[in-house]
Amino acid sequence: MNATLLLIAETIDNRVTGTSLEMTGLAQRLAPNMTAMFALAGSDIKTSAEKLAAGTGIPVTAFEGPDLAFPNPEILADLIGSLVEQTDAEIVCYPHTTCGCHAAARTAALMDAPCVPAVESVEKEGDALVFRRSVHNGRLKTTAIPRRRPVVLTLLPGAFKPAGPPAPSDSPPAMTLQKVEKKATGFSPVELTREASGDAALEHADIIVAVGRGIGDPENLGIVNDLARRLPNAAVAASRPLCDLQWLPYSRQVGATGRTVTPRLYIACGISGAQQHVYGMKDSQWIVAVNTDPHATIFSVAHIGVVEDLLTFLPLLAEAYDEMKKA
Ligand SMILES: Cc1cc2nc3c(=O)[nH]c(=O)nc-3n(C[C@H](O)[C@H](O)[C@H](O)COP(=O)(O)OP(=O)(O)OC[C@H]3O[C@@H](n4cnc5c(N)ncnc54)[C@H](O)[C@@H]3O)c2cc1C
């Protein structure tokens, strides 16, 4: 019998997220030696579970209960722990998101299983599975071979493309619904709020000047705003640390947990090029990267690389642009 690959789909408002579907790419990669099944949770999840089974051709176990209206990694990890025992799953895979990482760590701890977060690729070497991932913002790669099963993974957004639609079949894959009673837990999410801003500046911009931690100080943002103001139809974006610091609103964050943008020109200033950032901007038509570190990972996706202090380069670029317009 084939080993089971258990994929845990994440939901928001009882709908499956796009990054969850990327796990079908992992299922395709590990087939035919492993058979995939999905698990997901929500307060009113039946319709999404049926849609997931029909759309992927993968059987689904859905957990439904009042406590599952908001993502609750503690309850989810407990449910998944029991499901792993029932199915003898050898690999348990969550998306590499805040809730996915939380639930993966708890699942691994409950089962005393090895945990490999932020997986970017998987190779088969004989009976062993070899997992690769980046560390130190993409400067180094590590390789891990778990020595026992089950193993719990989180899959980095963008690392795998979703598998195509399943071959037509007369019998859709099974969908099993399990009701979950109310349960006291140490972790209790109470609210899920959406970003209030209707800021669509990034979606409509032809040019994006994106700024990262290399800016050093919020006072230096003036230089970036100044350049963006001069360029036609340009907007300012940021890497996640700047939004976490509240130097720019989250509506300007580009990346796996922010916006995906495809402007004509993306100028990445003081951004190292971590995979989570690159995920959101790699399909821009032209990418210019400005970084003091000649080995920064961002240069591997840039069409033009400028090894320079952004505080020196951006004012010169603004000046040169003005001169060019006058000429
Ligand atoms: C689940 C998860 C989701 C994530 N989602 C996102 C996301 O959506 N978007 C995102 O951006 N990140 C995301 N991250 C964070 C991501 O992993 C990186 O930590 C982040 O992108 C790094 O931001 P940065 O490049 O600005 O900072 P750093 O990695 O610190 O890089 C700063 C860069 O600036 C350069 N520099 C320093 N001084 C100067 C100067 N004066 N001039 C020019 N260059 C200079 C440095 O050489 C360095 O390369 C996520 C992480 C996790 C775990």
pLDDT attached to residue 188: 81
Q: Assess whether 164 and 228 both reside in one domain.
A: no
Section 170-183 average pLDDT: 90
Q: Per-residue confidence at 105, pLDDT binned at 50, 70, 90? A: very high
> What does the block give as tokens for 241?
């640390």
Residue 50 lies in a domain: yes
Q: Per-residue confidence at 172, pLDDT binned at 50, 70, 90? A: confident
Rounded mean pLDDT of the chain?
92
Atom of ligand 1 nearest to the CA of 272: 49
pLDDT attached to residue 44: 96
pLDDT attached to residue 233: 93
For residue 289, report the distance from its CA to the centre of ligand 1, in Å.
13
Is the confidence at residue 13, as pLDDT, over 70?
A: yes
The count of structural domains within the chain is 2
Section 240-254 average pLDDT: 94
For residue 251, report the distance from its CA to the centre of ligand 1, in Å.
17
- The CATH number of the domain where 20 resides is what? 3.40.50.620
Section 88-99 average pLDDT: 94
Lowest-confidence pick of 90-99, 156-165, 289-298: 156-165
Residue 240 lies in a domain: yes
Cα of first residue to Cα of last residue in the chain, in angstroms, is 73
Q: Does 271 appear as a known binding residue? A: yes
Q: Does 275 appear as a known binding residue? A: yes
Q: Which of 120, 195, 291, 295 to mutate to test the pocket of ligand 1 (most atoms within 8 A of CB)?
A: 291
For residue 236, report the distance from its CA to the centre of ligand 1, in Å.
16
Residue 190 lies in a domain: no
Lowest-confidence pick of 10-14, 292-296, 308-312: 10-14
Q: Does 147 appear as a known binding residue? A: no
Is the confidence at residue 71, as pLDDT, over 80?
A: yes
- 186-204: pLDDT as tens digits: 888 888 877 665 566 898 8
Q: Does 254 appear as a known binding residue? A: yes
For residue 18, report the distance from its CA to the centre of ligand 1, in Å.
23
Section 149-159 average pLDDT: 92
pLDDT attached to residue 317: 96
pLDDT attached to residue 53: 96
Residue 184 lies in a domain: no
> What does the block give as tokens for 172?
């859709």
Q: Assess whether 132 and 87 both reside in one domain.
A: yes
Residue 195 lies in a domain: no
What is the residue with the minimal CA distance to atom 14 of ligand 1? 276
Cα atoms in the 13 Å half-sphere on the side-chain side of 291? 23
Q: Which of 10, 292, 307 to mutate to test the pocket of ligand 1 (most atoms within 8 A of CB)?
A: 292
- Domain boundary (115, 147, 179) is at 179
**Host domain of residue 150:** 3-179
- What are the pocket residues of ligand 1 if the criterion is a CB atom closer than 6 Å to any ligand atom? 96-97, 137, 212-214, 239-241, 253, 255-258, 270-272, 274, 276-277, 280, 290-293, 296, 309-311
For residue 214, report the distance from its CA to the centre of ligand 1, in Å.
8
Strands 128-135 and 121-125, sheet pairing: antiparallel
Which CA distances in Å does 136 have to 66, 204, 273?
Answer: 40, 32, 11
Section 74-100 average pLDDT: 95
Residue 64 lies in a domain: yes
ipTM above 0.95, yes or no: yes
Is the confidence at residue 171, as pLDDT, over 70?
A: yes
Section 255-276 average pLDDT: 93
Q: Does 257 appear as a known binding residue? A: yes
Closest CA to 269 of 237, 245, 243: 237
Is the confidence at residue 261, as pLDDT, over 80?
A: yes
Cα atoms in the 13 Å half-sphere on the side-chain side of 85? 9
Q: Assess whether 207 and 270 both reside in one domain.
A: yes
More confident residue, 237 or 159: 237
- Cis ω before 32 (30° cut-off from 0): yes
Which CA distances in Å does 202 have to 110, 118, 206, 214, 278?
Answer: 42, 27, 9, 21, 15
Q: Does 274 appear as a known binding residue? A: yes
For residue 282, report the distance from its CA to the centre of ligand 1, in Å.
15
- 266-278: pLDDT as tens digits: 999 999 999 889 9
For residue 324, report the distance from its CA to the centre of ligand 1, in Å.
32
Is the confidence at residue 169, as pLDDT, over 90?
A: no
- The CATH number of the domain where 219 resides is what? 3.40.50.1220
Atom of ligand 1 nearest to the CA of 293: 47
Q: Assess whether 114 and 29 both reside in one domain.
A: yes
Q: Does 277 appear as a known binding residue? A: yes
What is the residue with the minimal CA distance to atom 38 of ligand 1? 214
Q: Assess whether 272 and 319 both reside in one domain.
A: yes
pLDDT attached to residue 326: 87
> What does the block give as tokens for 136?
């130190």
- Domain boundary (148, 179, 210) is at 179
Q: Per-residue confidence at 1, pLDDT binned at 50, 70, 90? A: low
More confident residue, 206 or 187: 206
Q: Assess whether 37 and 139 both reside in one domain.
A: yes
